[in-house]
Amino acid sequence: MSSPLPVGVLISGWGANLQALMNACALPGFPARIAIVISNNPDARGLRIAKEAGIPAYAINHRDYPDRLAFEAAVDAMLREAEVELVCLAGFMRLLTEQFVNSWPDKLVNVHPSLLPLYKGMDTHKRAIADGQEYAGCTIHFVRPAMDDGPIIVQGRVKILPGDTPNALSTRVLEKELLCFPLALKLIAEGRVTVKDEKVVISGELPKEDWLLIGN
């Protein structure tokens, strides 16, 4: 078997998605390993859980840098030093410049709490409820320079219930995030995911679940 794909994870906060990726990577035979965790927020709980699991984890506080490019240069240097081949944005709440995104072509993956292309940006659940949508969900996608844009790998769909609040809905969507992100990582690390004409193509058998949507 080939050696597991070295992955860098960028976070800003609690780290539920990071924990799900860590759990997956700890499974015997999982095709990826987390080589480094970086948080722009030094107080992120995610940094603590990574360190406790023995994963190299560092804060690079964006406030310590004069501008976005200088901050990103520091992040980039640390990721390259750790020799990562894929970067997962797991609740990373900084926008990345075109320069940074283009320097990791199809090697940057994000989780966003909506069924993209609907509800890019913030307050996704509140907006989905206000619009009377039948479904909310999450998307794991390759990152492009435009915010919350890029070829979709997998999506997790959740029915919006009568009387749903953004909080209640976000809890149910997060459950799907924690399943979808490890699945996307596994498929990528197995070398089964390619991007063709800005659409994701996945080879081989895929899990069939009524809540799971695959590709664009």
User: Contact between 8 and ligand GAR (CB under 6 A)?
Assistant: no
User: Contact between 182 and ligand GAR (CB under 6 A)?
Assistant: no
Q: How far is CA 86 from CA 82, 101, 140, 189, 203, in A?
A: 11, 12, 14, 9, 19
125 is catalytic: no
Q: Give, for 172, the enclosing helix (H) or strand (E).
A: helix 166-189
Kindly name the residue from 62, 112, 125, 141 that is annotated as catalytic: 112
Sign of CA dihedral 210, 87, 192, 98: positive
User: Contact between 141 and ligand GAR (CB under 6 A)?
Assistant: no
Least CB distance to ligand GAR at residue 156 (A): 11
Site size with ligand GAR, rule: CB under 6 A: 15
Per DSSP, the three-state class of 50 is: helix
Distance, C-alpha 173 to centroid of its chain:
14
Which one of residues 9, 57, 109, 111 is an interface residue with ligand GAR (CB under 6 A)? 111
Residue 140 forms beta bridges with which residues? 111, 154
Least CB distance to ligand GAR at residue 177 (A): 5
Least CB distance to ligand GAR at residue 148 (A): 6
User: Contact between 17 and ligand GAR (CB under 6 A)?
Assistant: yes
Residues annotated catalytic, as ranges = 112
